[in-house]
Structure 1
Amino acid sequence: MSTHPITTINTGKFYQVYDDVVPQYLQDYIELIALGKKGNSDEMINPSLDFKAKYEITAEEDNQTPLSFVHLLKSHTTTSSHLENFGMIPVSVCKHNNWTLDNILLARCFVSVPHETKLEHYAPHTDLNIEHTVMIYYVNDSDGDTILFNQQGDVMKSVTPKKGRVLVFDGSILHGGGIPKKGPRCIVNYDLKVIK
């Protein structure tokens, strides 16, 4: 298990990258139910998540818009039957850090399909307008780095998707998902209330 050093962006806001804090069995299970297969394995199933198409309008170029699919795990109005399994990921990371997971405010699983574009990422944004912690879990190895920005919009950190990797950061940090060019990019995005 490797933990990259805790780092702060020039505003003092933290971000942290973890590799393999999530147990291997859970990494494989999440990949199987989200993508229908594990890595390059011949074992395949029909993914058990119901995804809805989402056009990423923040990355429109030449009247073409990247396509993603989203499964809503939790919002203020709905909770997926899969939240219990997907909820084990923030529990593992919080346990590793001796943090208390107070609440999962919002959780979504995204699958972005490859899209030819000169753009590297979606528009910088924050997920919520309240104090929170963002946790991004990478379901599979892919291209399409997650980018963290400072308030001026300058790139401060680029994180490459790797199966089992987790990126945790202050929810007020601007960020943008990368646009994959080579294959599907699957992540789980959590917005959390964490007591540190």
Structure 2
Amino acid sequence: MNLAILDTNRIFSESLSCFLKENGHQVVATISKPSEPLEHLEKLGTDILIADLSRFSPLDPIAFSDYHALAEKLKIIAFIEDAGLNKIESLFNIGVAGCISKGSSLSVLLEGIEKVGNGHKFLSHDFNHSAKSEAPKLTPQEKRVLALLTQGCSSKEIAKILKISVKTVYIHRAKVIQKFGTKNLINLRKKALESGIALSLGEQIAQTD
């Protein structure tokens, strides 16, 4: 897997680079200045960019546009400080494939790289909320659909990942929304994250009934 690292802390970047190489990955670039152009990463054959996006703001139209365009060319894993739902959701909305807390262990990063490299979304378990509301009972397939919805996937993407029809996704989605007592996807994602149910489903996404 060809990786690139974007982090203003050069010492951290170098240490992370050594760790990734020791675990069988190729690091093709390390970037310490966020202002540095990132277009060349595609030419270097970068599969995944691991970027510190702790200061990313969806209200910054330039940053939003830049990362949205980049996410269409390669996969991005965001390293961020402990963040709320809005920050995580905005990152998935621009096309980021994974969000990992900077407090996570390096083994979590390796897990995220594997998941993202295989075409899945990834959210580290560190983003657990201390106060969890009671979660409704869902079928295994409803849980998978919910996990992918929470991670920003569209109905078409979910259908492709789970190898089911878009119509079936709509049916599962409607049932999940009903069980959570919400009226739209935004509130569904919020309730799912608050309950903690969507944060423990990473292993189920690739499975089928």
Larger helix proportion, structure 1 or 2? 2
**TM-score, normalisation: structure 1:** 0.28
More relative contact order, 1 or 2 (CA 8 Å, 6+ apart) = 1
**TM-score, normalisation: structure 2:** 0.27
Larger strand proportion, structure 1 or 2? 1
